[in-house]
Amino acid sequence: MSAKVTGAARYTDDIVLPRMACGRILRAPHARARIRAIDVSRALATPGVLAVITGRDLETKYGILPWTEDEHALALEQTSYVGEGVAALAAIDEPSARAGLAAIAVDYEVLPAVLDPEEALAHPEIKVNPSAREGNVSKHVDLSFGDVEGAFANADVVIEEEYRFESNTHAALEPHCAIGDADFDGNLTLYSSTQVPHYLHRALAKVLGLGAERIRVIQPAVGGGFGGKSEPFDLELCAAKLALLARRPVKIRYSREEVFYAHRGRHAMKMRFRTAAARDGKLLAVQSKLLIDGGARSSFGVVTTYYSGQLLAAPYHLPAYAFNATRVFTNKPACGPKRGHGSVQPRFAFECQLDELADCLELDPIELRRRNALGSEVTTINGQAIGSNGFRECLDAVERASGWREKFRKLPFGRGVGVAGSTYISGTAYPIYPNEMPQSAVIVKLDRSGQVVITSGVSDIGQGADAMLARIVAKELGCSLDAIRVHSGDTELCPVDLGAYSSRVTMMAGNAAIEACASLKERLGDIGSDFAGAVQRAEAKFGTLVGVGGYRTKKLGGDYRGGSIGASPAYSFTAHVAEVEVDARTGFVHVTKIWVAHDCGRAINRTAVAGQMEGSAAMGFGEALFESHAFHANGVHRGPNLLDYKLATTLDSPELEALIVECPDPAGPHGAKEAGEGPLHPSIPAIANAIYDAVGVRLRALPFSPERVLAALKGRKS
């Protein structure tokens, strides 16, 4: 497990195969254009160039969701954003590849483009995405639960405000990288820095027209995902196709600039929230209207649109709730899932609104949240079945640890504290493509040496999936952690797991691992102190010892638990308190500390859970203060590099204190729930609320840059 610390981990880009060629993708320079013609003849004649492909070589559409397959590996007639791939090639080395790219002639007819969702809705004739059914609407969801209008009519207090969430991106340290390797029998191996080997496997088969049984996807060590590697990317399909054509391994690695254009990060949202409450602070209804900037492709957009509303119905009891969300196509790189997919933005809005409500009612905002807490074993207004719920414990923990009562509204001007809460899912009930097969499976093989070998399709993307499986199996079998080897992320060796997204891995693969151990435990009988001896006795009696386990979402009353998109087997809960210092002269916000309490059900690996809590909070902090994935009017990114894109470094980050709360969930493996995404959500509103406590201004738009803070302070003074 020390491979990353010691530098021994082998990432995709570390892999060197014999005769490996260098692949590159040519990208469109226009936000929207028609491709009149592409001439690759000079590129093919360039010394060292082995193969060149264009959109026609990979015509089949694909997409992560089967209902919205709107992607081509390379553009066909039209390009829809700056950075869209239009051609690709493989060459014997990088200089030849560059020379080859420069020799490709693309004849573009530049077309008008829309870069803003409102503009896109106003101009349906500028069709961003040809597959959109209606103008530039990507997805529209309008759902209402309970008597919303009645609740607003009878409320003691109604707060209504608009909030804006800037787009931001994952910026994982490892750029996307893929290696295609085809053998002479027509079998393909694709190495890729992906979070979803299984979906990539399916996409490769579909787009290449190759039997899926001929394809192997291997996911080497991944240097960060955060949702940014959760769907098939052009480089994977191009590396595969070029390898088949060139009959050599072909590696394509994104430049950092390409990573920014590949994006699939956090959606910008314009959000209007209305909250109705009684005088005692009890929430009566919440209503939201969300305008979501989707970029040019669907990506996970259908899910984003649902999540933006569905995941807000906890951790507070809402007697009535409605949301109206519209995702719009714009001529920019597609947005997709980033840590806390779909719900980070509305959570920011709503937790700020709760702070305003508490202020209005002169209630302590922690007390307001406590009064509205849902509790455990309840069903939300939108039908989500909550199991364990440690939200109150989280509130207590951050209140106590932060010295809240001594600080809130009591610190001198320029210093303040803020609180926020949240909930998140532990995987979703539905697989992305509808089927009745297990969402996750684990095979455990015992060797007579006492070695325990786990194979599972889970993707360890740095979140510790492999270590999680090892710990669960060690506990189940009563063996030493040292005896365990985990092989994961290989579609050929491993049974299917759907991938590392939606915080599903521990819940699903963990349960599958427990099931895999059950029959082994039976065969092992009384282990005693000699594990290898017990294995040998059992092997002599029963033959090779292999246990297989799977995970299917449990059905409740004939339907999957919760029954809707966003429904999960279990829900995590989080509360943060942030403390800030605001320099009223410069507008600079210094976050001194964030206390992060998170109910992860059961911490299978306390270090990993604390790491996820700290990492999530730090990422939220960076989004709150610095990050801006923004574009010039011509569709060119404002700073597609790690100098201009202000990712928070360890030097920028606040002190973080992880307060692990354990409320074991009956659905979780050993009671565990998610910990990797939930703890990001409250960072942003907690900081916003702390800024209000410090200097009395409400920031309703991200990031909380010095300019924005200064502007707000001026508005307050005026």
Chain residues that interact with its own copies, rule: CB under 8 A: 1-3, 6, 8, 10, 14, 16, 18, 183-185, 187, 201, 205, 211-216, 435-438, 441, 443, 445, 447-453, 455, 482-483, 485, 487, 491-493, 495-496, 532, 536, 539-540, 543-544, 546, 548-550
Q: Please say which residue, 214 or 371, places its beta carbon nearer to its own copies.
A: 214
Q: Please say which residue, 543 or 557, places its beta carbon nearer to its own copies.
A: 543
Query: Is 574 within 8 Å of 610 (Cβ atoms)?
Result: no
Question: Minimum distance from CB of 428 to its own copies (Å)?
Answer: 19
How far CA 586 is from CA of 590, 690, 703, 711, 718, in Å, comes to 11, 17, 15, 10, 17
Q: Please say which residue, 217 or 699, places its beta carbon nearer to its own copies.
A: 217
Question: Minimum distance from CB of 3 to its own copies (Å)?
Answer: 7
For residue 631, give every residue at least 6 positions away whose Cβ sits within 8 Å of its Cβ, in sequence order, or none. Answer: 82, 115, 332, 637, 638
Residue 586 CB neighbour total at 10 angstroms: 10
Question: Minimum distance from CB of 545 to its own copies (Å)?
Answer: 8
- 414 DSSP 8-state letter: T
Q: Looking at the DSSP assignment, which residues form a beta bridge with residue 269?
A: 165, 292
For 623, phi and psi rounded to 5 degrees? -65, -40
Rounded-to-5 percentages of helix, strand, coil across the chain:
30, 25, 40
Question: Minimum distance from CB of 184 to its own copies (Å)?
Answer: 5
Residue 534 CB neighbour total at 10 angstroms: 21
Q: Please say which residue, 181 or 351, places its beta carbon nearer to its own copies.
A: 181
Question: Minimum distance from CB of 604 to its own copies (Å)?
Answer: 19
Q: Please say which residue, 18 or 412, places its beta carbon nearer to its own copies.
A: 18
How far CA 297 is from CA of 55, 130, 267, 687, in Å, comes to 16, 10, 12, 32
Query: Is 193 within 8 Å of 220 (Cβ atoms)?
Result: yes
Question: Minimum distance from CB of 438 to its own copies (Å)?
Answer: 5
The vertex-87 CA angle with 82 and 92, nearest 5°, equals: 125
Q: Please say which residue, 231 or 515, places its beta carbon nearer to its own copies.
A: 515
- In terms of C-beta distances under 8 Å and separation of at least 24 residues, what long-range contacts does 373-379 make, across chains too? 373/315, 373/316, 373/317, 374/314, 374/315, 374/316, 374/317, 375/317, 376/663, 378/317
Report residue 560 as tokens.
């999957």
Question: Minimum distance from CB of 70 to its own copies (Å)?
Answer: 24
Report the greatest alpha carbon distance in the chain: 85
The vertex-195 CA angle with 191 and 198, nearest 5°, equals: 70
Q: Any idea which residue has 């899926």 for tokens?
A: 212
Question: What is the 3-state secondary structure of 22-75?
Answer: EEEEEECCCCCEEEEEEECHHHHCCCCEEEEEEHHHHCCCECCCHHHCCECCCC
Q: Please say which residue, 540 or 643, places its beta carbon nearer to its own copies.
A: 540
Q: Please say which residue, 75 or 608, places its beta carbon nearer to its own copies.
A: 608
Q: Any idea which residue has 């059950």 for tokens?
A: 518
Q: Please say which residue, 288 or 491, places its beta carbon nearer to its own copies.
A: 491
d(CA 572, CA 596): 13
Question: Minimum distance from CB of 22 to its own copies (Å)?
Answer: 19
d(CA 164, CA 699): 10
Q: Please say which residue, 379 or 449, places its beta carbon nearer to its own copies.
A: 449
Q: Please say which residue, 122 or 437, places its beta carbon nearer to its own copies.
A: 437
Question: Minimum distance from CB of 540 to its own copies (Å)?
Answer: 4
Question: Minimum distance from CB of 2 to its own copies (Å)?
Answer: 5
d(CA 155, CA 112): 47
Question: Minimum distance from CB of 16 to its own copies (Å)?
Answer: 8
